[in-house]
Amino acid sequence: MTQLASARWPGIARAPRTPLRARIARAILRPAVNQVPVRLTFADGRTWGAGGGDSPEMRVVRPKAFFARLGADTKIGFGEAYMAGDWTTGAGTDLADLLEPFAARMATIVPVPLQKLRGFVDKKLPHHQRNSVHGSRKNIEAHYDLSNDLFAEFLDPSMTYSSAWFESAEQDLEAAQMRKIDAILDDADVGPGTRVLEIGSGWGALAIRAARRGAKVTTITLSSEQAAFARRRFAEAGVDVDLQLVDYREVTGEYDAIVSVEMIEAVGEEYWATYFATIDKLLAPGGHVAIQAITMAHHRYLATRNSYGWIQKYIFPGGLIPSLEAIDRTLHEHTSLTVTNRRSLGRHYARTLREWRDNFDASWETIKTQGFDETFRRMWEFYLAYCEAGFRTGYLDVFQLSIAHRPLPNDEGFG
């Protein structure tokens, strides 16, 4: 690794020196991986894993560094080892295909007695990643302000960075994204004259779609890069959209419809109550809310809610994926809102991510001219493949949720 790359990636440039932890990691990994239909191959010809010759291959290039990273921090070290090139896929093996069997066994691959020790090894979210008003801005900037040009290389022309909803195997990504957006707007009953608040502007696709329905649209973001891009798109599209560079906690007014696509994951558990209470306060009587939220099973949310992982360190600082139960509980305890309908798009997200990754790989020669190095490439590949594997197996899901005020007792016929 060059000196410049070492300065940019200090945690990747040198493997930690933790020989005892490395030996422990090795001792735990071997029996665990021998239950998984994959092959771990080493340069000396040794092979671990339950997979045959046609199973996905994980090729361990630098065993000493690999086990050192795994021993130092299992949840972060595995991804860091891929970023560093300590392990890679074998010839003919797709990264998501390799990660899928691990994702399918996420809850069981570590023996139950050792799972009880996770409280001693899990790291908590760093204080600087808390999603306070100031912290949220820094967290959003860390990902979404990377480069509009970067995202343009792998997203569809609408620049939509969330799960699509495919109508058929033949439908292209852009059309599937418009189908997803239309479903959100339909669920929120957006039409001519509707006062719409969008929490999380993205690059403006949903706001344009809503404005073209005749709605009066206010959209908010914390990303200055996204805001500049979206404003140009609004002008080019000839739509009147009020874009504000503010935090959701700073919004005032009253809205007939509130929409938010894959924003709750960036809110942080500490602020879920504030997020939904703000929506409750801003929603007009009889109004509708539609959000799209990545979720995980409740038992996995409980197991991971107090830990700090690779995705939080390198991709989405301050992020936490909720469960449907956690959303329902927060709404019940802190708002007058309730979920009235839900639609799963999990398998559609797996396809969306695969198309993004294919686009990213095909565009890498262009992307690297923007100043992104090989470590960044491997980081982004791991991120997209890791998420794809999660949605393929159902470890992760994504829902479109329709939310409205709970009926008053009179509405239910009680008095």
User: pLDDT tens digit string along 346-398?
Assistant: 999 999 999 999 999 999 999 999 999 999 999 999 999 999 999 999 999 99
* Residue 181 designated active-site: no
Cα torsion 289, 292, 295, 301 to 10°: value is: -50
Distance CA 91, CA 312 (A): 30
DSSP H/E element including 402 = strand 396-405
Beta bridge partners of 179: none
Q: SS3 sequence, 348-367? A: HHHHHHHHHHHHHHHCHHHH
Out of 22, 387, 398, 403, pick the active-site residue. Answer: 387
pLDDT string in tens for the chain (415-residue length): 554 455 688 879 889 998 999 999 999 999 999 999 999 999 999 999 999 989 999 999 999 999 999 999 988 999 999 999 999 999 999 999 999 999 998 766 665 555 554 554 556 666 667 777 777 888 888 788 889 999 999 999 999 999 999 999 999 999 999 999 999 999 999 999 999 999 999 999 999 999 999 999 999 999 999 999 999 999 999 999 999 999 999 999 999 999 999 999 999 999 999 999 999 999 999 999 999 999 999 999 998 888 889 999 999 998 999 999 999 999 999 999 999 999 999 999 999 999 999 999 999 999 999 999 999 999 999 999 999 999 999 999 999 999 999 987 765 544 3
Single-letter residue type at 248? Y
**Domains assigned to the chain:** 3-121 (no CATH), 127-412 (3.40.50.150)
Whole-angstrom distance, CA of residue 228 vs CA of residue 209: 18
Strand ranges (E), 115-264: 195-199, 216-220, 241-244, 255-261
